Amino acid sequence: MYAGGVLKRVSGLTYDKLKYFVRAGYLEPKKVKKESLYYNDFSEEDVEVIKRAWTLISTHHMKARTAFARAKGQGRAPQLSLKLGDTSDNSD
């Protein structure tokens, strides 16, 4: 997905901020060549990270480096499963 698609999906994000995030190394989208120009091609995972990071930046006034580190960590964190409804006893 190109930058325009990302901007449509992330409310309040500007093209300049998105470009800054790429140049600063917080994101590494795939580069796609069209004629003589290269464009950033963002994956769905990139978009989800951007959404989480932008929420932290715009709502909680978090620094971009910290927001992206936290946003990337949330995407890879394993889910905790408590199995509260399971009352079976396997102690035969």
Tokens 């971009």 sit at which residue?
64
pTM of the model: 0.76
Handedness of CA 23, 27, 33, 35 (dihedral sign): negative
Determine the 3-state secondary structure of 13 from DSSP: coil
Inter-residue contact 67 to 57 (CB < 8 Å): yes
- 20-46: per-residue pLDDT in tens? 999 999 999 999 999 999 999 999 999
User: What's the gap between Cα 24 and its chain centre?
Assistant: 15
**Does the residue 85 lie in any domain?**
no
Res 91: pLDDT: 55
- 45-85: per-residue pLDDT in tens? 999 999 999 999 999 999 999 999 999 987 554 555 566 66
Q: Chain-wide mean pLDDT for the chain? A: 87
Q: Domain span at residue 42?
A: 3-73
User: Tokens for 85?
Assistant: 């409804």
Number of domains present in the structure of the chain = 1
